[in-house]
Structure 1
Amino acid sequence: MASSEQSITASTAASLAAAIGAISVVGIGLGLSVPLLALEMEARGIPRTWIGLNTAMGGIATILLAPFMPRLVRQYGAGPMLIGAIVLAIATLIGFKATPSLAAWFVLRFLFGAALCVLFVVSEFWINAAAPPQRRGLVMGVYATVLSLGVAGGPAILGVTGIEGWAPYLAGAALFALGTIPVLIGANGAPEVHTESRLGMMALIRIAPSATLAGLIFGAVETGEMSFLAIYGLRRGLDEQTAALLMTMALLGGVACQIPLGLLSDRMDRRKLLLICAVVGVVGSLLLPALAMDGWAIRAVLFVSIGVVAGLYTVGLAHLGARFEGAELAAANAAFVMLYSIGLIIGPPMVGAGMDALDPHGFAYTIAALLGVYAVVVAWRIARVPRK
């Protein structure tokens, strides 16, 4: 019996390592490719409006494809889906360099976004399904931490290769290709979906609003902060280098907080932890206008508040894993990623409009408002349904 339990534990660990390893390597490629494509278009003199529209194609692809993901996973399997998505990502990344046509770049960006949608939905379903229930939060925290480190490492590689010539594109393609290795090794441990989900996207959102809406709000807050935090610093008198440091502190907070939050989520009602994450974000945002921009106090607030807010993604995914299984879990993960992508699209315009209305503190107030609305929804849910 002991050897059997040890074997099951080893099998589970290998399965988790395969999914986390694959998406983490892809994270490096993603962190490299997104700024690379933007800089390439900028160097070609393409207007920034068109650069933004091209970038948005990835989110549109996710929104359109995500509802079909459970059926595709059931038909083709998690392992083959990940391999196919990586191959598509490699082909489209090479295609960007091979053609100068902006119209072709819109098609390629849509296909690239579709590949990323498959990678994230399938890998997160795989991890959620394979994670032991009593350690699901920890596993999702490790996943989020390693992925964040991978995405952060992408621009560093770009700093070595530069943006000219084939070198950055080939480096990105090679990194994506490395993601196939752990998938091939752990393919036997991939979860399977044998039935079709009985629940549609809206039903999943109604059943688990705290978890699913966490993806939407975090997507909006994350892109709003990434787009305007440095600008907020500039508007309040910082130079470019010091303003960029604010973003560095925010990113470091996101990396540092995920494993502790994951561990905590294994020991308490995850809805209450999601509420705490949102409230910490509201308080942190409302403190920003009162703090000096060049002091360590504002950097500490950004590190803690944005780091804790990033827990919406980690804890939200863990909450889904605890609520659903099989086909419903695959559908729930797809809904989560779709809502996250919608957040990516709506976040920057909302925060930008807030800054235009109340320059510069509209940045902080808009972030606080987004998180505040989510906090109200979660508090209402906890009051109405005391138990999960």
Structure 2
Amino acid sequence: MTTSRMNHFTFLTLLLVVAIAGMSQGLTLPLLSVMLEHEGVSSLANGFNAAGLYIGILIVSPFMEWPLRRLGYRNTILIGLCVVTVSTLLLPMFRGFTIWFILRLLLGIGDMALHYASQMWVTALAPPERRGRDMSIYGFAYGAGFSIGPLGMLLVDFGDWVPFLAISVFYAAAFIMLFRLKNAFPLPAEASEKGQNRYLYVLRLGWLALIPPFLYGYMESALNVNFPVYAVRNGIPLEWVSLILPSFVVGSLVLQMPLGRWSDKVGRKKVMMVCASTGALCFLLLPLASNNIPALMALLAVAGATVGSFYTLGLAYAADVLPPGLISTAGAIASINFGIANILAPNVNGFFLSTSSPGLMFSVLGGLLALFVVVGYLFGKKPADVRAMNKLNEAG
């Protein structure tokens, strides 16, 4: 197999893996939240339980660069997939707040290894002129899986274990394709980059690119953990919740690749600013929709179309402004930000759900996106400026 064909097969395999990971998260997050809600668990406790997934992500994020550099992309993905598969199969075998929290913690650790390695591999394979497009296709695959995931809640009628068994069949397919890949390793950090703290260096030069993963994490957790509870309490049937939830992801699928190509042409920052402005407006209007199902689906679809690709756009922007040897470091920081946001969101929104104004959780989300726009316009340097600073630092 030629290098070009091998890279193409690797890319397709990574798309399959991330799509399956998206299906898993899209299914387990809302399903377990609704099951705990039916068992009488408070919204605050429910949010804390869901945060177990993201606590796992946060715990392992600072250390992921080490196995990636020593074990390679493929082996790191395989380890993550093993942890996710075992944890998923154990979920229906045990019932209870504590055991589900522990299993969600393990799911987060496995998901982190899987996502981090696959994201970095796609970034390494993509040439700069196609980076936005390739990352958007990667995001499209994740979004497609995530949008299909909640439909698995309909399988509960056949037994609580059926949705989890169904997703495990897809894990098996991912294992088969991964074993056919040749392992690869990230580029080493340059000597000039090793002489200083890599994390501080990345934060100093690429801080604006690392905010979108935080915002995306907050959105994902708010919609998949807290929104089902919000909807059920507003009298929306569970069947409709399983259809409303994918609206956000389906919306992101529509514009995921066009936004990626557009960012290749006009610049990542400009695209993110426009998208964040539109997304902020949608979330600020969401509390007004209340239990109006068409309005909820429309607002979530537009929000998804604009800010549903924030994570991949942020990583692509980081790759634009940072030296190649530091992309894996930026990916680790992005994952940490994503994990922090996903821990904060269920608990903050759980508090709002316990008050008389549960819609405040969407207002806060809209406010965060609006704040990002303001900060980006006022303080964000252009990529050319950051690259120039890079060269000065290396010359010095």
The normalised TM-score by structure 2 is 0.82
Alpha carbons 1:211, 1:317 under 8 Å: kept = yes
Residue type matched to 2:311 in 1?
Answer: Y
Task: Work out the CA distance in 1 between the residues paired with 2:93 and 2:297.
Answer: 42
Aligned residue identity for 1:366: V
Match of 2:25 among 30, 33, 38: 30
- The CA deviation string for residues 8-27 of structure 1, in whole angstroms up to 9 with x for no partner, is 43333222112222221232
Q: Which residue of 1 aligns with 2:221?
A: 223
Q: CA deviation at 1:378?
A: 1.3
Alignment match, 2:135: 140
Question: CA deviation digits over 1:164-191, x for unaligned, max 9?
Answer: 3543333232222221223222334x34
Which among 193, 203, 206 is matched to residue 204 of structure 2? 206
Q: Which residue of 2 aligns with 1:192?
A: 186
Partners of 2:293 and 2:226 in 1: CA distance: 19
**Equivalent residue number for residue 372 of structure 1:** 370
Unmatched runs of 5 consecutive residues or more in structure 2: 387-396
SS in 1 for 2:357: coil
Please give the per-residue CA displacement for 1:60-98, whole angstroms capped at 9, x wherever unaligned: 111111111111111111111111111122222233344
SS at match of 1:212: helix
State the number of aligned residues: 381
Of 329, 339, 348, 2:327 maps to 329
How far apart are the structure 1 equivalents of 2:297 and 2:161? 38
Q: Tell me, in whole angstroms, the C-alpha distance in 2 between the residues paired with 1:37 and 1:357.
A: 22
Percent of residue pairs bearing the same amino acid type: 24
Q: Counterpart of 2:11?
A: 16
Q: State the Cα distance separating 1:353 from its structure 2 match.
A: 5.6
TM-aligned CA distance change 1:91 to 1:325, over 3 Å: farther
Q: Which residue in 1 is equivalent to 2:47?
A: 52
State the AA in 2 paired with 1:316: G
Q: Is the 8 A contact 2:132 2:261 kept in 1?
A: yes
User: Is the aligned partner of 1:95 residue 2:93?
Assistant: no
Residues 212, 316 of structure 1: 8 Å contact kept: yes
Q: Give SS of 1:267's match.
A: helix
Contact residue 193 and residue 326 of structure 1 kept, 8 A: yes
| Whole-Å separation in 2 of the counterparts to 1:310 and 1:223 | 13
1:95-149 Cα deviation digits (max 9, x unpaired): 3344456544433322221111101111111111111211111111111111111
Q: 1:304 to 1:330 in 2, by over 3 A?
A: same
Secondary structure of the corresponding residue to residue 185 of structure 1: coil
Task: Give the CA RMSD over aligned residues.
Answer: 3.5
Partner of 1:120: 115
For residues 233-289 of structure 1, what are the alpha-carbon distances to aligned partners after superposition, in whole Å with 9 as ceiling and x for unaligned? Answer: 789x88558984654433321221211111111112211211112122233344557
Instruction: State the shift of 1:231 in Å.
Output: 7.0
**107 and 14 in structure 1: CA distance in 2 versus 1, 3 angstrom threshold:** same
SS of equivalent to 2:266: coil
Q: Aligned equivalents of 1:290 and 1:83: distance in 2?
A: 45
1:192 alignment partner AA = P
For residues 360 and 165 of structure 1, the distance between their equivalents in structure 2, rounded to whole angstroms, comes to 29
- 8 Å contact kept, 1:36–1:158: yes
CA distance in 2: counterparts of 1:193 and 1:43, whole angstroms: 49
Name the amino acid aligned to 1:93: T
Write out aligned runs for 1:174-189 (5 A).
Answer: 174-188=169-183
**Unpaired stretches in structure 1, ≥5 consecutive residues:** 1-5
Match of 2:260 among 256, 259, 262: 262
Letter in 1 for 2:66: R
Which deviates more from structure 2 when the two are superposed, residues 52-61 or residues 319-328?
Answer: 319-328
